[in-house]
Amino acid sequence: MPDMDVALKDAMQIDGAIGVALVDYTSGMALGIAGGTKDFDLTVAAAGNTDVVRAKLRAMEMLQMRDEIEDILVTLGEQYHLIRPLKARSGKGLFLYLALIKSRANLALARHQLRRIEESIDV
């Protein structure tokens, strides 16, 4: 099982990856970050996306949905943002956040690779 740093490096190998973070959605803190640019602050993006996860979890609770989030996709003009909550007991309350350049990414393959990383990560 890869540790967090190895998992983040693996995620950065996904075609089109701009940056990736492992985030605690209870606090909004990024526990680990790889990539990013001077114009794309992953710490800020990770913290902001905790609200997305919390909102979806609240909506599911209000609807009494007994399901779990596989991933959340936000499609922007030039980017994809993938949010994947960790399902392992040790990853409870954490999610992987991956930003991709839309023109260079294969969304289906990126989702598959991020799922593989999420399933193997050791937190």
The answer to whether 10 and 3 have CB atoms below 8 angstroms apart is no
Question: With a threshold of 0.85, does the pTM exceed it?
Answer: yes
CA 20 to chain CA mean position, Å: 7
Closest Cα partner for 83 from 38, 42, 114, 44?
114
Rounded-to-integer distance, Cα 2 and Cα 34, Å: 15
The predicted pLDDT at position 72 comes to: 96
The predicted pLDDT at position 90 comes to: 58
The domain tally of the chain equals 1
pLDDT digits (tens, 9 = 90+) for 14-24: 999 999 999 99
Q: Which residue has the higher pLDDT, 3 or 43?
A: 43
Tokens of residue 78, six digits: 């030039």
Host domain of residue 53: 4-120
Q: Which residue has the higher pLDDT, 61 or 88?
A: 61
pLDDT digits (tens, 9 = 90+) for 92-119: 789 999 999 999 999 999 999 999 999 8
The predicted pLDDT at position 92 comes to: 78
Tokens of residue 70, six digits: 């596989």
Q: Is the backbone of residue 113 left (phi > 0), alpha (psi -120 to 50) or beta?
A: alpha
The predicted pLDDT at position 120 comes to: 84
| CATH of residue 12 | 3.30.450.30
Q: Is the backbone of residue 55 left (phi > 0), alpha (psi -120 to 50) or beta?
A: alpha
pLDDT digits (tens, 9 = 90+) for 26-49: 999 999 999 988 888 999 999 999
